[in-house]
C-alpha cells in the first residue's frame, strides 16, 4: 500500500507543480484549494470548555501542535491529561535545527548539525500568515515573540536554466516588464476601440489612466526605456548626488523574451492568500512555538514514547507504548477518551480498533514527499554582494527555491540559507540520496544562481520527510474524491477515539490546520463527556 500511496502522491504533486510552472502560482493555488490543500482558517476565538466532569481523563497521542493545543485547553478546563510523544522534544513538525542537534532518519543516517550559534533552519513549517489567528493567538499566550517574515523581495531572483543564458533575473525587472508590456497591449486595444462593447467611453479613459500608472507607461502609452519604467525595474545607474548624480535608465526586456522565459510564473506567489504580507516567524526559529508549549506542558508529556497499539471499549481507551530509550518492554496508558494526532502515514500501520469507515479513512490519505536543505556559508554574501535581504528566489532547478533569512540583517559573520525546498518527483530523487549527497546537490544547483556558493559553503543538513520516523511524509494529501468519501469519517468521534492534526483539516501542511482541528475535536469530546455518553 505504501508504494501505491507514494505513486499517487507523486503524480498529484507533479500535477500541481506543472500547473504552477505553466499557468502561474495563483492558478496553482486555486487548484490546491479545490483539492483541499488550502482554505481559510475557521478560528473564531478561544474555545470555551465549561463543566468538565470531575475526574474525566483524556489521553493525547503526539506532542505536535494539535496535541499540545488540545492538552493546553483540556487541562485548563479541568481534565486529567496525559500526552505520549515519540520524540525527545515537543513540537513534531514544528522544529528548528540548530548547532549541536542530532537526528537519525529511517535507514540509519544520523546528521549532526554544525551551524554557528544563533543560526537555524526550519525543516517543517517556516511561515505564519497574518490571518492564521489560531496559531498566532497561542504565540501570544505563550509569550513567543514574532518578527516579520519576508515572502516577496523584489531584489531576489527568478531563474530558468533555459532562459537568458541561464542567468538569474531580478524579480523586479521581470515584474515591471511583464506588467508594462501587458499594460501597453491593453492600452493599444482600448485606443483602437476594440473594447467599445465592453467598456464605456468614460471608463475607457479611466482604464487608460490606470494602465499608465499600473504599467509605468510613457505619455504615449508605450512601455519603453525611461524614468517611469526604471523606477520599477531599476536603473543602469542609480540617481545620486553631485556632478555624477544623473541616473541612467535601464532597457526593458522585450515581451517575447519575458513570455518565453516563463519567469512570470513566479510573480504571483506573494499575492496568494496564504502568502500575502504580513507574514511572521518566531524569533529564533519556528521550533520556539513547540518549545514554549513543551515548557508549559512539561508535567503531562511523556517523551520517547513509541505507540504500538490503540484499543478501546465502552469504558475507555488503552494505549500500548515502548520507551525508545529502553526498548523491549511494553507500557500502558489509559484514559476515558483519546485524541490521536499521530500522522496517518504512521497510524495506518498500528493496530487500532475503530469502525471500518474510520479505518478506511485512515488508510486513504497518502503523504507528500518533501526535502528541505539548510546551508551554512562563511558570510552573508547574498546581502553583501547582491543586496538581498530576506525573500525567496525561484528556479526551475530541482531545488525549486532559495529562501534568505528574514533576520540578522547586516550582522556580519556566517549565515544560513534554506538552500532547497523540494517536492514532487525531485523530492523522491533527493530522498533516495544520502544526506551528504542531498547537501552536495543543493550546493551544486544553487551555484547556478549564486556562484559564491562553491567558495563560501561550509556545512549543511538535509531533511527528507519520507525518511522521518515520526511522520514518514511531510503532510496529508487529499483529493476531492477522497475528501467526499472519507473526510467526515476521519473527523467523527469513533467510540472514545477522535483524530486531529493538519490531516483532519482543510488547511493541510499549515499549523493553523492542526490548531483548528484540535479545537474542533476537543469541543466535541467535551460535549460527549458532559452528556455522560456511555458509548
C-alpha cell at 471: 511522520
Contact by Cβ (8 Å): 58, 523: no
User: Pick from 284, 274, 277, 283: which is nearest to 391 by CA?
Assistant: 277
SS3 98: strand
Delimit the domains of the chain by residue range: 36-84+302-366+478-531, 97-155+276-285+368-467, 171-261
3-state secondary structure 491-508: HCCECCEEECCHHHCCCC
Distance, CA of 2 to CA of 344 (rounded, Å): 12
Distance, CA of 408 to CA of 429 (rounded, Å): 33
Q: Which CATH architecture has domain 171-261?
A: Up-down Bundle (1.20)
Cβ-based burial of 53 (10 A; exposed 0-12, middle 13-18, buried ≥19):
middle
Note the pLDDT of residue 299. 97
Note the pLDDT of residue 314. 95
Superfamily of domain 36-84+302-366+478-531: FAD/NAD(P)-binding domain (3.50.50.60)
Measure Cα distances from 262 to 23, 163, 174 in Å: 9, 8, 10
Sign of torsion over alpha carbons 524, 526, 531, 535 = positive
Contact by Cβ (8 Å): 340, 498: yes
- What's the whole-model pTM score? 0.92
pLDDT digits (tens, 9 = 90+) for 37-96: 556 788 888 899 999 999 999 999 999 999 999 999 999 999 999 999 999 999 999 999
Note the pLDDT of residue 194. 84
Q: Do domains 36-84+302-366+478-531 and 171-261 have the same CATH topology?
A: no
Cβ-based burial of 353 (10 A; exposed 0-12, middle 13-18, buried ≥19):
middle
SS3 234: coil
Note the pLDDT of residue 535. 52
Distance, CA of 52 to CA of 56 (rounded, Å): 7
Measure Cα distances from 325 to 87, 104, 321, 406 in Å: 10, 14, 12, 37
SS3 168: coil
User: Pick from 312, 360, 365, 321: which is nearest to 339 by CA?
Assistant: 312
Grid cell 545620486 — which residue? 240
Instruction: Give start and end residues of each alpha helix (H) in 283-332.
Output: 287-296
Instruction: Return contacts of 144-147, CB within 8 angstroms, 24+ apart.
Output: 144/282, 144/283, 144/288, 144/289, 144/292, 145/282, 145/283, 146/280, 146/281, 146/282, 146/283, 147/280, 147/281, 147/282, 147/283, 147/406, 147/407
Distance, CA of 426 to CA of 369 (rounded, Å): 9
pLDDT digits (tens, 9 = 90+) for 213-240: 999 999 999 999 999 999 999 999 999 9
CATH of 97-155+276-285+368-467, one of 3.90.660.10, 2.60.40.10, 3.20.20.70, 3.40.50.1970: 3.90.660.10
Show the CA angle centred on residue 307, arms to residues 520 and 300, nearest 5°. 60
What stretches in the chain show pLDDT beneath 50?
Answer: 1-13, 15, 18-31, 33-36
Note the pLDDT of residue 199. 85
Amino acid at each position: 500500500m505504501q508504494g501505491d500511496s507514494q505513486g499517487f502522491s507523486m503524480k498529484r504533486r507533479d500535477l500541481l507543480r506543472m500547473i504552477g510552472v505553466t499557468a502561474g502560482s495563483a492558478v496553482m493555488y486555486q487548484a490546491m484549494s479545490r483539492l483541499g490543500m488550502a482554505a481559510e482558517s475557521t478560528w473564531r476565538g478561544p474555545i470555551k470548555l465549561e463543566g468538565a466532569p470531575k475526574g474525566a481523563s483524556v489521553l493525547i497521542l503526539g506532542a505536535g501542535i494539535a496535541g499540545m493545543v488540545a492538552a493546553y485547553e483540556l487541562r485548563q478546563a479541568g481534565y486529567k491529561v496525559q500526552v505520549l510523544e515519540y520524540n525527545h522534544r515537543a513540537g513534531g513538525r514544528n522544529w528548528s535545527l540548530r548547532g549541536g542537534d542530532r537526528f537519525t532518519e529511517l535507514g540509519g543516517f544520523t546528521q549532526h548539525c554544525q551551524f554557528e550559534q544563533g543560526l537555524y533552519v526550519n525543516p517543517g513549517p517556516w511561515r505564519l500568515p497574518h490571518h492564521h489567528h489560531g496559531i498566532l493567538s497561542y504565540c501570544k499566550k505563550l509569550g513567543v515573540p514574532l518578527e516579520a517574515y519576508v515572502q516577496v523581495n523584489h531584489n531576489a531572483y527568478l531563474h530558468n536554466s533555459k532562459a537568458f543564458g541561464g542567468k538569474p533575473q531580478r524579480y523586479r525587472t521581470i515584474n515591471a516588464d511583464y506588467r508594462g508590456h501587458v499594460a501597453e497591449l491593453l492600452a493599444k486595444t482600448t485606443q483602437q476601440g476594440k473594447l467599445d462593447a465592453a467598456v464605456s467611453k468614460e471608463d475607457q479613459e479611466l482604464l487608460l489612466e490606470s494602465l499608465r500608472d499600473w504599467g509605468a507607461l510613457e505619455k504615449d502609452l508605450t512601455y519603453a526605456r525611461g524614468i517611469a519604467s526604471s523606477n520599477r525595474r531599476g536603473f543602469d545607474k542609480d540617481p545620486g548626488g553631485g556632478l555624477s548624480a544623473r541616473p541612467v535608465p535601464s532597457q526593458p526586456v522585450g515581451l517575447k523574451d519575458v513570455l518565453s522565459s516563463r519567469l512570470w510564473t513566479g510573480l504571483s506567489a506573494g499575492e496568494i492568500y496564504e502568502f500575502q504580507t504580513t507574514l511572521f516567524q518566531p524569533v529564533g526559529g519556528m521550533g520556539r512555538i513547540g518549545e514554549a508549549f513543551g515548557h508549559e506542558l512539561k508535567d503531562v508529556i511523556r517523551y520517547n514514547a513509541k505507540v504500538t497499539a490503540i484499543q478501546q471499549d465502552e469504558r475507555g481507551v488503552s494505549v500500548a507504548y515502548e520507551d525508545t530509550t529502553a526498548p523491549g518492554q511494553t507500557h500502558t496508558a489509559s484514559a476515558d477518551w483519546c485524541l490521536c494526532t499521530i500522522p496517518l502515514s504512521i497510524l495506518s500501520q498500528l493496530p487500532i480498533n475503530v469502525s471500518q469507515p474510520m479505518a478506511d479513512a485512515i488508510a486513504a490519505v497518502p503523504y507528500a514527499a518533501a526535502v528541505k536543505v539548510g546551508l551554512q556559508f562563511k558570510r552573508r554574501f547574498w546581502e553583501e554582494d547582491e543586496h538581498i535581504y530576506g525573500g525567496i528566489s525561484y528556479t526551475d532547478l530541482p531545488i525549486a527555491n532559495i529562501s534568505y533569512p528574514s533576520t540578522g540583517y547586516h550582522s556580519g559573520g556566517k549565515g544560513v540559507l534554506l538552500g532547497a525546498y523540494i517536492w514532487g518527483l525531485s523530492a523522491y530523487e533527493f530522498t533516495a540520496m544520502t544526506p551528504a549527497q542531498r547537501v552536495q546537490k543543493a550546493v551544486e544547483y544553487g551555484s547556478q544562481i549564486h556562484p559564491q556558493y562553491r567558495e563560501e559553503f561550509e556545512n549543511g543538513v538535509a531533511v527528507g520527510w519520507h525518511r522521518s520516523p515520526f511522520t514518514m511524509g511531510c503532510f496529508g494529501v487529499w483529493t476531492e474524491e477522497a475528501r467526499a468519501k472519507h473526510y467526515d469519517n476521519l473527523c467523527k468521534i469513533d467510540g472514545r477515539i477522535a483524530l486531529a492534526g493538519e490531516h483532519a483539516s482543510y488547511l493541510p501542511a499549515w499549523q493553523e490546520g492542526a490548531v483548528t482541528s484540535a479545537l474542533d475535536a476537543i469541543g466535541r469530546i467535551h460535549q460527549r463527556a458532559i452528556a455522560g455518553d456511555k458509548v
